Amino acid sequence: MVDLINLVQTLTSPHPLDRYLELVRPTLTVRDMRAEITHVRRSAPGSVTLTLRPTRQWKGHAAGQYVQIGVVIDGVRHARCYSPVNPEGGRDRHIQLTVKAQPDGLVSQYLYRHATPGMVVDLTPADGVFRLPEPRPQRLLLISGGSGITPVLSMLRTLAAEDHPGEVVFLHYAKSPAVLPHRDELDAIAQRHPNFRIELRYPHRVRDVTRVDPDAPWVDLNQPKGSGYFDYDELERVAPWFADAQTYVCGPQSLMDAVRTIYQAEQLEDRLHTEEFTLSLVPADAADAQGTVDFSASGVSARNNGATLLEQAESAGLSPEYGCRMGICFSCTAVRRSGCTRNLRTGETDSDPDQPIQLCISAPVGDVEIDI
Ligand SMILES: Cc1cc2nc3c(=O)[nH]c(=O)nc-3n(C[C@H](O)[C@H](O)[C@H](O)COP(=O)(O)OP(=O)(O)OC[C@H]3O[C@@H](n4cnc5c(N)ncnc54)[C@H](O)[C@@H]3O)c2cc1C
Ligand code: FES
């Protein structure tokens, strides 16, 4: 079969066979993986849950992993990462994604507003090391905030589907009950599994108007003491056994920082597993922004303005491949032929020649030659 496909590919050269098949039906592909949206649910304001039927190449996901979705908006293809919320395994080959519409977000707003059954999107295989381990740990603490619910919800659903016999705590922070997706299912899991605890928090910060000092700190007025933001007391309350558990966290930077600080102080970093949806960068060093960036394979050069190599390439009119734009998926990897680059996640510099680097998290330090 593979030989036959290769033969047909040769005969249809210069265009891959999939380019012809997609004219017949977009999901009729031999190599490219795609998915058709079969169901769209806007059950919570500001987010949309999509059910997708992938083409036959789909091999499933492990709970916690992400896929990349590619959509064409105004003639340009954009790829973004989304973590399936459905449980891993099972005979149902569908994927369920919950997308939060980010303010001014290009792809999330597009999917929120325009996704309809029948729409076909590009799809990559599931990837990522943020995943439930095998064998399952006896005790698990799953913590999430906002749209970070998705990978840990897949973990919770997987453990529920497996009738996990150990203790599981799911601690989620949302702005309000109204914007929490999948609430009914969380309640159902809690009812069916007495060893699973679902703890939902709505810390709603408002300024204490009774204070005359305009710089007074933001305080939590709406919640009884102890049900606000994540801290050590909260951790002890919901999972007093946390030191024996494996903990999985996904959410906004403030939540991730709070959890990391406590686990570092307790020397439990090896039991903490984190996933981030947004990129936190080291502050830019103005002295790096000098010299020329030479995109040698394209014959294009540009003045180094200090931005990431991905952004500088795009500003120079090039279209390098990318996915997450935050150093996770490696789609943007290209070879640095010469010169020095700074990794914007760690702040470290490197100048070994002919090294693969990730364009989305690398900035040139002076003159650099990149092979794109
Ligand atoms: C591994 C991984 C898994 C992910 N899983 C999910 C998921 O299951 N559900 C989901 O809704 N999103 C998920 N995301 C985020 C998603 O990939 C996109 O970043 C998000 O949908 C915004 O894309 P956009 O095109 O709408 O925004 P862009 O046009 O790329 O960005 C517009 C603006 O929104 C800001 N922004 C982008 N993303 C966020 C964010 N998450 N929080 C706050 N501000 C943001 C940007 O800084 C920018 O200012 C995941 C990201 C990663 C890396
Ligand atoms: S685009 Fe994902 S690592 Fe760069």
Residue 283's pLDDT is what?
78
Residue 149 pLDDT exceeds 60? yes
Best probe residue, ligand 1, of 127, 144, 277 (max atoms within 8 Å of C-beta) = 277
The number of beta carbons lying within 10 Å of the beta carbon of residue 331 is 18
Best probe residue, ligand 1, of 42, 82, 83, 102 (max atoms within 8 Å of C-beta) = 102
Work out the percent of the chain whose per-residue pLDDT is above 70: 85
pTM score, two decimals? 0.83
Task: Tell me the three state secondary structure of residue 168.
Answer: strand
Compute, in angstroms, the gap from residue 232 CA to the centroid of ligand 2. 34
Rounded CA gap, 12 and 15, in Å?
Answer: 6
Average pLDDT, stretch 61-73?
A: 95
Compute, in angstroms, the gap from residue 278 CA to the centroid of ligand 1. 7
Residue 372's pLDDT is what?
95
Compute, in angstroms, the gap from residue 316 CA to the centroid of ligand 2. 19
Rounded CA gap, 115 and 120, in Å?
Answer: 9
Residue 156's Cβ-count burial label (10 Å; 0-12, 13-18, 19+) is buried
**What residues are paired with 68 via a beta bridge?**
81
Report the pocket of ligand 1 as residue ranges, CB < 6 Å. 66, 80-83, 98-100, 102, 104-109, 147, 150, 277-278, 324, 326, 328
Residue 165's pLDDT is what?
97
The percent helix, strand, coil of the chain (3-state, each to 5) is 25, 30, 45
Residue 125 pLDDT exceeds 90? yes
Query: Where does the pLDDT of residue 257 fall: very low under 50, low under 70, confident under 90, or very high at 90 and above?
Result: very high
Atom of ligand 1 nearest to the CA of 151: 8
Q: Is the dihedral of CA 323, 326, 329, 335 positive or negative?
A: positive
Residue 280's pLDDT is what?
79
Residue 262 pLDDT exceeds 70? yes
Interaxial angle between packed helices 183-192 and 149-161, expressed in degrees from 0 to 180 and rounded to the nearest 10: 30
Residue 206's pLDDT is what?
41
Average pLDDT, stretch 57-66?
A: 96
Length of the chain: 372
Query: Where does the pLDDT of residue 331 fall: very low under 50, low under 70, confident under 90, or very high at 90 and above?
Result: confident
Residue 50 pLDDT exceeds 50? yes
Atom of ligand 1 nearest to the CA of 108: 26
How confident is the model over 193-225, as pLDDT tens digits?
999 999 999 986 543 434 333 333 333 334 444
Dihedral pair phi/psi, residue 3, rounded to 5°: -60, -40
Atom of ligand 1 nearest to the CA of 85: 8
CA-nearest residue for atom 6, ligand 1, is: 82
Cα-based angle 305, 311, 313 (whole degrees, multiple of 5): 90
> Do 305 and 364 contact (CB within 8 A), yes or no?
no
Rounded CA gap, 41 and 185, in Å?
Answer: 14
Residue 9's pLDDT is what?
63
Cα-based angle 70, 73, 75 (whole degrees, multiple of 5): 105
How confident is the model over 313-326, as pLDDT tens digits?
999 999 998 888 88
- Chain mean pLDDT for the chain: 88
Residue 215's pLDDT is what?
38
